Amino acid sequence: MDRHYETIIIFTPVLSEEQINNAYIEYKLYLKQNNVNIIKKEKWGMKKLAYKIKNKNNGFFFLLEYVSIPSFIKIFNNKILQDERIIRFLTVKMNKYAIEYSLNRKNKNEKQ
């Protein structure tokens, strides 16, 4: 049974804009190659971190919302863990309220 997931990835600020975009595209393609349905993808850009992570004060934030089988999540998380360009990530399973909120937010942004 497919489930709704959301992953936030923080890339190190040492990379150039082109390197970060290539990494982001790489992860989107990886999801598509594994038959994952991407619902939403957002580039949040450079943000200040609440606390230092690996001696970095800033990071490039990206959000991926997708539908996948649960067994794929462990594989995807292991791939992210092996990437030195990423300083932190978080994958969460979305409940029905989070899915509804995300759809409402997406519809609101499309109307503007």
pLDDT digits (tens, 9 = 90+) for 78-92: 999 999 999 999 999
With a cut of 80, say whether residue 111 has pLDDT above it.
no
Domain ranges of the chain: 21-49
Q: DSSP 3-state assignment of 58? A: strand
**Mean pLDDT on 90-95:** 92
Global pTM? 0.86
With a cut of 90, say whether residue 105 has pLDDT above it.
no
Give all strands of the β-sheet with 3-11 in edge-to-edge order.
37-53, 56-68, 3-11, 86-93
pLDDT of residue 75: 93
Q: Could you report the per-residue pLDDT of 21-77, keeping only the tens digit for each? A: 899 889 989 999 999 999 888 889 899 999 999 899 999 999 999 999 999 999 999
> From residue 26, how far is each of 22, 60, 70, 80 by CA, in Å?
6, 15, 21, 11
Q: How far apart are CA 36 and CA 14, in angstroms?
A: 30
